[in-house]
């Protein structure tokens, strides 16, 4: 954790995706899938967040004691390329330091199901990250969920907005579960421990 971050500051865990049933199983929506599982784990249900264009669940993760963390799970309802506005509104409302923001998102340059965790860096062409970085800077955490590159000459935009293939879906629940574990480890035990455990 950043030394300037108060120990009692909440964490804002943002699953990136597009709202609407037609996008629900898209590769681009894997962040929503991880956020939904985390909400299930803490026994919460997403609900509209006041004036912010997002759905949120508030709760706590981790064992009772000093490593128990207050978290706000969020799914922006603004479409991917405008995620920064809703996330920044939630960050202001809940008084979350930038270093306590975690974006869970799909990543083209990593093989399917592979995870990479990091703090800061570029957006690698990801419109959700681009919008967040423009809104409040790049020094937030990322949990990058590999979806691989599009086959043949398929355009990237078409690939990310397609549903996971039937072969991919066989392992999807396992990989989403593992990504949720990685988010919990990051928040409870810190980036280094989470990287050593989950950066496969």
Q: Which residues are catalytic?
A: 28
Q: Give the three-state DSSP class for 198.
A: helix
Total length of the chain: 200
Which tokens is 16 given?
């990136």
Which tokens is 113 given?
């199901």
The distance of Cα 79 from the centroid of its chain, to the nearest Å, equals 14
- How far is residue 197's CA from residue 189's CA, in Å, rounded to a whole number? 11
Q: Calculate the dihedral angle through the C-alpha atoms of 70, 131, 108, 164, rounding to the nearest 10 degrees.
A: 70
């Amino acid at each position: 954790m950043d030394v300037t971050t108060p120990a009692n500051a909440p964490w804002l865990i943002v699953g990136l995706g597009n709202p609407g049933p037609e996008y629900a199983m898209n590769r681009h929506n894997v962040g929503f899938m991880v956020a939904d599982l985390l909400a299930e784990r803490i026994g919460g249900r997403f609900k509209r967040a006041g004036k912010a264009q997002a759905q949120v669940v508030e709760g706590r993760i981790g064992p009772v004691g000093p490593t128990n963390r207050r978290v706000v799970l969020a799914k922006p309802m603004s479409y991917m390329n405008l995620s920064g506005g809703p996330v920044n509104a939630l960050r202001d409302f809940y008084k979350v330091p930038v270093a306590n923001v975690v974006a869970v998102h799909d990543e083209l340059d990593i093989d399917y199901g592979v995870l990479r965790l990091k703090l800061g860096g570029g957006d690698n062409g990801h419109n959700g990250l681009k919008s967040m970085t423009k809104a409040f800077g790049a020094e937030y955490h990322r949990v990058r969920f590999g979806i691989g590159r599009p086959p043949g000459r398929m355009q990237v935009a078409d690939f990310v907005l397609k549903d996971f293939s039937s072969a991919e879906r066989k392992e999807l629940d396992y990989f989403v579960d593992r990504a949720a574990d990685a988010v919990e480890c990051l928040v409870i035990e810190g980036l280094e421990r989470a990287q050593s455990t989950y950066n496969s």
